[in-house]
């Protein structure tokens, strides 16, 4: 019998949730995705340090002075993205600075800047997904970018409202988080049984996937942030799943049969009227978990971005 990783690849597009080139070479995913936390981990590994040095040198050559770290951070994200593109045949996601999560036009401008840096590297930007936090402002930025022909990955999705609004905005792909949802419920209900299909993160992604297929949305559902392979097994058949190297290894060493759990429908029906901003914000207000985890995710990505820029500042001295 083939491994569960190979079985999964036959029904779901597997994406590497890492900036580690060696892990990608080992598991051969279709796509790759990064975020500020993963970039920070990558540059702390000695063999990837030359990319950070190259980014700082480039920033200085551009005449950057006070903002050399911020300029270098964008360049570093693109350098790592370009390297990832050499290893995967599909898309690579590059994230917009989380500190812009509540500024629609600044997000659009940053996205176009990142794509310009990719073009300067000679990269085919049709393979780049611009990753944006699923705030209302971020989702509206995705709407504008998609209208410009720029594909987006709306991330930090914890609620059905975020997912639905993203699909209605025409986002190319969304990243609903599984493990972080589970973390919140386990902290709130430590004695509850969240195994298998009882996992609230699994239930969230399943609901989103079924709704998108039922109403014919083209937006790709990519489950993310897994805590164990059971969550992955329960979402087998999802459009895409982005998986860390440790869990990819576990799947590659598991030979049991992997049944498909999610399947698209044959005849989608018309979608309901789009969410208004007021309804979106109310639905988020009523969802304590989604509100907590979205805010926490943005804060953590912003913190890691600052730490990354501090490291680049030190390199620039």
Domain with 291 in it: what CATH number?
Answer: 3.20.20.70
pLDDT of residue 46: 84
Domain count, the chain: 1
Q: How far apart are CA 80 and CA 126, in angstroms?
A: 17
pLDDT of residue 20: 81
Q: How far apart are CA 152 and CA 30, in angstroms?
A: 17
Q: What does the pLDDT profile of the chain (317 residues) look like in tens digits?
A: 799 999 999 999 999 888 788 888 898 999 988 888 888 888 888 888 899 999 999 999 988 767 899 999 999 999 999 999 999 999 999 999 999 999 999 999 999 999 999 999 999 999 999 999 999 999 999 999 999 999 999 999 999 999 999 999 999 999 999 999 999 999 999 999 999 999 999 999 999 999 999 999 999 999 999 999 999 999 999 999 999 999 999 999 999 999 999 999 888 999 899 999 999 999 999 999 999 999 999 999 999 999 999 999 888 77
pLDDT of residue 63: 83
pLDDT of residue 72: 93
Domain that holds residue 54: 4-316
Instruction: Please say if 303 is a catalytic residue.
Output: no
Which one of the listed residues 75, 131, 151, 293 is annotated catalytic? 131
Q: Has this prediction a pTM greater than 0.85?
A: yes
């Amino acid at each position: 019998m083939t491994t569960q990783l190979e079985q999964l690849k036959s029904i779901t597009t597997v994406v590497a949730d890492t900036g580690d080139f060696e892990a990608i070479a080992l598991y051969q995913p279709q796509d790759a995705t990064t975020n500020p936390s993963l970039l920070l981990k990558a540059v702390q590994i000695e063999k990837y340090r030359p990319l950070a040095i190259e980014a700082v040198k480039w920033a200085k050559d551009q005449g950057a002075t006070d903002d050399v770290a911020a300029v270098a951070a964008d360049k570093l994200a693109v350098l790592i993205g370009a390297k990832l593109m050499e290893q995967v045949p599909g898309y690579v996601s590059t994230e917009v600075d989380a500190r812009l999560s509540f500024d629609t036009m600044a997000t659009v401008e940053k996205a176009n800047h990142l794509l310009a840096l990719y073009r300067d590297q000679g990269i085919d930007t049709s393979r780049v997904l611009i990753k944006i936090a699923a705030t209302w402002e971020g989702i509206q930025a995705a709407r504008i970018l998609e209208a410009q022909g720029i594909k987006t990955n709306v991330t930090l999705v914890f609620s059905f409202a975020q997912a639905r609004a993203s699909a209605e905005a025409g986002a190319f792909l969304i990243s609903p988080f599984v493990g972080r949802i589970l973390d919140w419920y386990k902290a709130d209900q430590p004695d509850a049984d969240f195994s298998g299909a009882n996992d609230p993160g699994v239930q969230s992604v399943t609901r989103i996937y079924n709704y998108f297929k039922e109403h014919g949305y083209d937006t790709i559902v990519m489950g993310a942030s897994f805590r164990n392979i059971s969550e992955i097994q329960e979402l087998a058949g999802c459009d895409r799943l982005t998986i860390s190297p440790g869990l990819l290894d576990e799947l590659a060493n598991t030979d049991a049969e992997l049944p498909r759990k999610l399947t698209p429908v044959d005849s989608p029906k018309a979608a309901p009227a789009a969410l208004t901003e007021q309804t979106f914000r109310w639905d988020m207000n009523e969802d304590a978990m989604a509100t907590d985890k979205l805010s926490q995710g943005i804060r953590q990505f912003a913190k890691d971005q600052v730490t990354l820029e501090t490291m680049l500042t030190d390199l620039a001295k």
